[in-house]
Structure 1
Amino acid sequence: MKERFIHKDFHTNSLSQIQTINEILDEYKAQGFDLSLRQLYYQLVVRNYIPNTKGSYKNLGNLLRNARLAGLVDWSMIVDRSRSQIIQPYWRNPKDILDDVVSWFQINPWENQPVHMEVMIEKDALSGILIPVTRQQGIYFTATIGYPSISILHRMSKRLLRYLDEGKDIYILHMADHDPSGIDMTRDLADRLEMFTGFPVTVERLALTSTQIERYDPPENPVKLKDTRANTYIEEYGYSSWELDALEPRVLAELVNNFVDEHRDEDLWQETL
């Protein structure tokens, strides 16, 4: 919904860019996705509307803020997933809460599967893209900001041990930036889960990979040389890095869905449903 709170006169170039922004937002709304500021920025870069620079990102943020306040861009189509609100649920009477509980009930379709899968993503800002996917697939989803804390991994390992005791194969699908820390996170995740569980745990780097970079050609960024892992990264990949946000939401969703569909027993799945 577009709501106007201020009056502002925009330059012709700004109005043209706002029109392009709305076209991109409408395109993704039709696919069932909303975008963060960072994702919108990369879509504009990929389509050669703006250069991939810090100044461009800052200018886009300012333009988008003013355009929304002036009623030119739908408020609901740009989301800030870096901040969350917790709302206390209320019901009018006991019957309403019982009705809700009944609607929440569903049989676990993974109960008889020989595998257990979970998705972990480096960026909480992309949760809005992947939570609907993992919810539909019925698998655990964990979002972190950078490296996962030991508290998250300890709690996760307790859960994994139950499935290991049942003889299930474990797959942790990891998604992170292709930069010095993002690449190292996948190794670190596997090492620390093995430490906590006492067993090797398969951590599949689902994204971002060199193959995906070649295929989708996302905008590149210079490696942050202050990162203590930069030298090791540069030896193997060079001086360029890429952000997970640059992949289209559709691609992120497909990566998860395709891996899950390929590794579960479809006959058992249909029997449970």
Structure 2
Amino acid sequence: MKIAYKEINFRSASRNLIDQVNGIIREYEVMGYSLTLRQVYYQLVSRDVIPNTERSYKNLGSIISDARMAGLISWTAIEDRTRNLRSNSHWSSPASIIRSAAASFAFDKWEDQEHYVEVWVEKDALIGVVGQICEELDVPHFSCRGYVSQSEMWVAGRRLRSEEDQGRQTVILHLGDHDPSGKDMSRDILDRLETFETSPIFRRLALNMDQIEEYSPPPNPTKLTDARAKGYIADYGNECWELDALRPDVIGRLIRSHVTEYCDLDKLAKAREREEKARDLLYRVSDNWEEIEGDYR
């Protein structure tokens, strides 16, 4: 939705950049994705439109902000996934709450699967990308926000142990930056889950060196202030890479391909069929609510 609030005269270079931003937005809208500012930035860097520098990132943010005010970029196209208004839900009638319930009704489609899978991502800003594919596959997903707190890790350990006690093999699929701390976070998660007496299959989905070689995301200099930098540089050199630099559709394909390794797809399809039948029943109740309500008057 483009709405102009003030008139701004842009230089030709800025107008060209705005056009390229809109092109990236349209490209990902077709695939069903919305992007963060950071993801738009990395798409422009990877296409050699702008340099990979902090100054360039800040300049892009300013141009996009002005372009929105001038009605040149949609207000809904670029998300801030860390700041959201929360409020209670409301309905206009009992029929409307039933219809709302029908839209969100879901069975646990993994209830009869042999594995219990969770997807963990280092950054909250990527939860929208991860959530899109995880919701489709009915897989729980979690934003670590860096190193996971002790309390949340304990809760996760109890949750996984409960699944294991029911005879299911637990699986954690982790995505994080390829930098000193991002790599170490994978180790930290597995070590602490084992401390809390769980035995998950743990797989680091991204970002890994083979993906860096395949997709060539733009590098950043390794932060020498990171306490783990020395060991990282010895193994990988002076460059590091952010998970945000991978295309959202690439992240989605990675998650899908690994989740389905642990899923009986026939059982999943049958669970979806049962779910659709139950949802249709709720919709019929909603559509005939006035008749049902009349029986109680």
TM-score interval, normalised by the smaller of the two chains: over 0.9
1:75 counterpart SS class: coil
Alpha-carbon distance in 2 for matches of 1:202, 1:260? 12
1:76 counterpart SS class: coil
Structure 2 unaligned blocks of 5 or more: 273-297
Q: Which residue matches 1:63?
A: 63
- Equivalent pair of 2:82/2:125 in contact (CA under 8 Å): yes
Structure 1 unaligned blocks of 5 or more: none
Q: Which residue matches 2:13?
A: 13
Alpha-carbon distance in 2 for matches of 1:256, 1:32? 16
Which shifted more, 13-22 or 94-103? 94-103
- Once the two structures are superposed, residues 130-163 of structure 1 have per-residue CA deviations (whole angstroms, 9 ceiling, x without a partner) of 1121111111110122111122212212211111
- Once the two structures are superposed, residues 23-75 of structure 1 have per-residue CA deviations (whole angstroms, 9 ceiling, x without a partner) of 11111111111111100000000000101011100100111100110111111
> What value does the CA root-mean-square deviation take over the aligned residues?
1.3
Residue 102 of structure 1 and its aligned partner are, at CA, apart by 4.1
Q: Which has the larger radius of gyration?
A: 2
Alpha-carbon distance in 2 for matches of 1:10, 1:103? 44
Alpha-carbon distance in 1 for matches of 2:104, 2:192? 34
Alpha-carbon distance in 1 for matches of 2:138, 2:43? 30
One-letter amino acid of the structure 2 residue matched with residue 49 of structure 1 = V
Q: Which residue matches 2:276?
A: none
- Equivalent pair of 1:119/1:142 in contact (CA under 8 Å): yes
- Equivalent pair of 2:160/2:170 in contact (CA under 8 Å): yes
Q: Report matched runs for 1:185-264 at 5 Å.
A: 185-196=185-196, 198-264=197-263
Residue 100 of structure 1 and its aligned partner are, at CA, apart by 2.7
- Equivalent pair of 1:120/1:173 in contact (CA under 8 Å): yes
Q: Report matched runs for 1:15-94 at 5 Å.
A: 15-94=15-94
- Equivalent pair of 1:190/1:202 in contact (CA under 8 Å): no
One-letter amino acid of the structure 2 residue matched with residue 60 of structure 1 = L
One-letter amino acid of the structure 1 residue matched with residue 111 of structure 2 = E
Which shifted more, 77-86 or 207-216? 77-86
- Once the two structures are superposed, residues 94-140 of structure 1 have per-residue CA deviations (whole angstroms, 9 ceiling, x without a partner) of 34323433443322221111101001101000111111211111111
One-letter amino acid of the structure 1 residue matched with residue 10 of structure 2 = F
Alpha-carbon distance in 2 for matches of 1:209, 1:178? 7
- Equivalent pair of 1:2/1:74 in contact (CA under 8 Å): yes
Alpha-carbon distance in 2 for matches of 1:270, 1:98? 25
Alpha-carbon distance in 2 for matches of 1:189, 1:243? 19
- Equivalent pair of 1:81/1:124 in contact (CA under 8 Å): yes
2:35 counterpart SS class: coil
Q: Report matched runs for 1:54-203 at 5 Å.
A: 54-196=54-196, 198-203=197-202
* Moved >4 Å (runs of 4+): none
Residue 86 of structure 1 and its aligned partner are, at CA, apart by 0.8
Alpha-carbon distance in 1 for matches of 2:268, 2:95? 33
TM-score, normalised to structure 1's length? 0.96
1:215 counterpart SS class: helix
Identity of aligned residues (%): 42
- Once the two structures are superposed, residues 210-237 of structure 1 have per-residue CA deviations (whole angstroms, 9 ceiling, x without a partner) of 1100000000001001001111111111
Residue 81 of structure 1 and its aligned partner are, at CA, apart by 1.0
1:88/1:61 Cα in 2 relative to 1: closer, same or farther (>3 Å)?
same
Alpha-carbon distance in 2 for matches of 1:39, 1:237? 24
Alpha-carbon distance in 2 for matches of 1:130, 1:29? 16
> How many corresponding residue pairs?
272
- Once the two structures are superposed, residues 222-266 of structure 1 have per-residue CA deviations (whole angstroms, 9 ceiling, x without a partner) of 100100111111111111100000000000111111111122122
Alpha-carbon distance in 2 for matches of 1:80, 1:94? 33
- Equivalent pair of 2:219/2:240 in contact (CA under 8 Å): yes
